[in-house]
Structure 1
Amino acid sequence: MKNITSASTLIAALFLTTIVGCAATSKQESTGQYVDDTVITSAVKASILNEPTLKVNEINVETYKGVVQLSGFVRSEDNIATAIRIARGVSGVTAVKNAMRLK
């Protein structure tokens, strides 16, 4: 009986540690948020790739907790506006930060 109680306590402690270890903090993403951000980043890159006026190799995309940051060097103000509009249109994006510059 004592072994069963000890084993149950150990399993509960390991389970609780696992849950707390995967939780998000204000400065760190949870595993689920990281996966969501990866999906958002991929979707934004794909949308930029499908836009004929933009060059995907000129624009870097990073996502953290749904906030997309676009950076890189582009050819025109229109390209900046188009990239921002495309990023905002992707599902899961909560905000877009622009760090793109003109060549």
Structure 2
Amino acid sequence: MKIAQRLVTAAFTAVVAVTAVGCASSPDRASAGEYVDDTVITGKVKAAFAADPTVKATEINVETFKGDVQLSGFVAQPGDAQRAVEIARGVKGVSSVKNDIRVK
């Protein structure tokens, strides 16, 4: 009987351990809340681009992961790319900006 009880206890402990590990945060994936936050940040950056006359919002792609914003696309002048980075950095919630914008 003690063997059966120990076996059940060991199985229960293993299930709890696996469940706890599964709940840990992952650096590769965003939680549902982080995904929503990133979507809001992306929208705010795009809105800020649309409000600025020097930045062509349709030419620049914005992606956000855990507050890190990545800009890509094409602009006519190097100054336009720098302006886009400045605008993105000014948006609340942005922790960093990676500039992958290319000049045509």
- Return the TM-score normalized by structure 2: 0.77
**2:81 corresponds to:** 80
Cα distance between partner residues in 2 of 1:61 and 1:75: 18
Identity %: 52
Q: Tell me, what secondary structure is at the counterpart of 1:28?
A: coil
In structure 2, what is the equivalent of residue 6 of structure 1? none
Structure 1's consecutive aligned runs of 4 or more residues displaced over 4 angstroms after TM superposition are none
Instruction: Tell which structure's C-alpha radius of gyration is larger.
Output: 2
Query: Which TM-score applies when normalising by structure 1?
Result: 0.78
Aligned length, in residue pairs: 86
Residue of structure 1 in register with 2:13 after alignment:
none
Task: Please give the alpha-carbon distance, in whole angstroms, between the structure 1 residues aligned to 2:87 and 2:102.
Answer: 17
Q: Distance in 2 between matches of 1:24 and 1:34?
A: 13
Unpaired runs of 5+ residues, structure 2, are 1-15
Q: How does 1:22-101 map to 2 (within 5 A)?
A: 24-101=25-102
Match of 2:84, SS state, is helix
Q: Secondary structure at the match of 1:100?
A: strand
Q: What is the Cα deviation at residue 24 of structure 1?
A: 3.3
Quick one: distance in 1 between partners of 2:98 and 2:62?
A: 10
- Alpha-carbon offset, residue 54 of structure 1: 1.1
CA distance in 2, matches of 1:31, 1:41: 15
User: Is there any run of 5+ residues in structure 1 with no aligned partner, and where?
Assistant: 1-12
Give the aligned residue type for 1:92. G
Secondary structure of the corresponding residue to residue 25 of structure 1: coil
